[in-house]
Amino acid sequence: MGVAVVVGACATPRSLPPGPTPIPTLAPATQPVSFPGETAPAPFEVQSYPARLPSVELGQPLYEEQCSRCHGDDGNGVVPGARNFRDLDYMRGETPASFYAVVTAGRGQMPAFRETMTSDDRWDAVLYVWHFSTTPENLALGRGIFDTNCAACHGADGTGQVLGAADFTDLRFVGDRAPRDFYLAVTQGVGSMPAWQGRLSQDERWAVIDFLWTFAYDAGLPGEGGEVSATTAAPAEACDADFLAQTNPYAWDDATAIASGQVIYDQSCAACHAADGSGSLPAAPDMTADDYQAGLRGESWAVLCTVAVGRGSMPGWQEVLTLEEMWQVLTFTASFGS
């Protein structure tokens, strides 16, 4: 009886299979899975950038041959589902890099062009599409604004003159950003770059953003006035009478005001004026010079006016800094003459 109990305890439970259970074959987690009736997703695309400047002129015949039947000669879309490239709300939220990816791999009813167009051809076509969202007149306006207000830091050629200034000739940088990204940066400011909402109108900000892209591609198109020429910028805003009546509420040697002003100066001014006030850019004054220091202390209201409303390529700061903060900065700059 005891032996029977032992043998019974060693018997295989009825719930277990008679032999080893085979391991099911699973698709690797990295392998795309297609369901019946669905098209397998396109393989991963490596983003390729051109060795030369993409050209709107070279992109025009490619667009007319490959794209216009669906998107129309003027880019407004002529078949159901075709994007309207004249729709600014749509275009300002997209990026050239995302357009390039769609042209390469296709989407929906749109075929892939990776086999029929070279990478450079695709970039030419993409930037031709991009030009539908602006006009030569808008680009000319944008250039005038850029030359007057932005070139001091970003360079006349858009390569970036001071530390931290974006290089707009780098297609990897601008191509991966939407116009709305740049609009937000120009409007609110980024790092040492001030906000321009108080000095440039909405249309002017969009115009200069449209112009920024032309550093990364050739926007010239025969017969369309594609040559972007500089325009005369509007004169600087007149100084408010309230600023002209101001005097420094701090003593020039007020240690607390100097310390507060230095923090603001280092964050917002040093990129152009240098940490020691000697001027990092050709147009920036040498604030260590005796004549500057004499003017600062003798006619401080005039220097305050420049800080508040701007002058030349220097933007106004009255929308960013309080009156108290502007005086703190000026009190700090007076220490450069010590």
- What is the domain-level CATH number for residue 281? 1.10.760.10
pLDDT band at 6 (very low <50, low <70, confident <90, very high): very low
Query: What total number of domains does the chain contain?
Result: 3
CB within 8 A of 157, min separation 6: which ones? 169, 215
* Residue 92 in domain: yes
Place of tokens 């932005």: 150
Does 142 lie in the same domain as 99?
A: no
Q: What DSSP state is assigned to residue 123?
A: H
DSSP per-residue codes, 259-327: HHHHHHHHHHTHHHH-TTSS-SSTTS--TTSHHHHHHHHHSHHHHHHHHHHEETTEEP-TTTS-HHHHH
Checking if the pLDDT of 45 tops 90, the result is no
| Same domain as 61, residue 148 | no
45 within some domain: no
Residues 62 and 114 in one domain: yes
Burial of 174 (0-12, 13-18, 19+ CB in 10 A): buried
pLDDT at position 295 is 86
What domain range is 153 assigned to?
Answer: 136-215
pLDDT of residue 328: 94
Q: Does 257 share its domain with 328?
A: yes
Query: How many other CB atoms are found less than 10 A from the CB of residue 139?
Result: 23
What are the φ/ψ torsions at residue 240 (nearest 5 degrees)?
Answer: -65, 140
pLDDT digits (tens, 9 = 90+) for 118-131: 999 999 999 999 99
Provide the greatest CA pair distance for the chain: 118
Mean pLDDT over 58-79 rounds to: 93
Whether residues 94 and 128 share a domain: the answer is yes
Instruction: Say if 48 falls within a structural domain.
Output: no
**172 part of a folded domain:** yes
What does the pLDDT average to over 60-89? 92
pLDDT bracket for residue 284 (50, 70, 90): confident
- How far does the chain reach from its first CA to its final CA, in angstroms? 109
317/249 same-domain check? yes
Give the pLDDT score at 155.
86
Task: Give the model's pLDDT for residue 309.
Answer: 81
Residue 181: inside a domain, yes or no? yes
Q: Are 320 and 195 in contact (CB under 8 A)?
A: yes
296 vs 287: CA distance, rounded Å: 9
Name the band, by pLDDT with cuts 50, 70 and 90, for residue 171: very high
Q: What is the pLDDT of residues 213-255, one digit of tens each?
A: 899 999 887 665 544 433 333 333 457 777 778 889 999 999 9
Same-domain pairing of 176 and 194: yes
pTM: 0.61
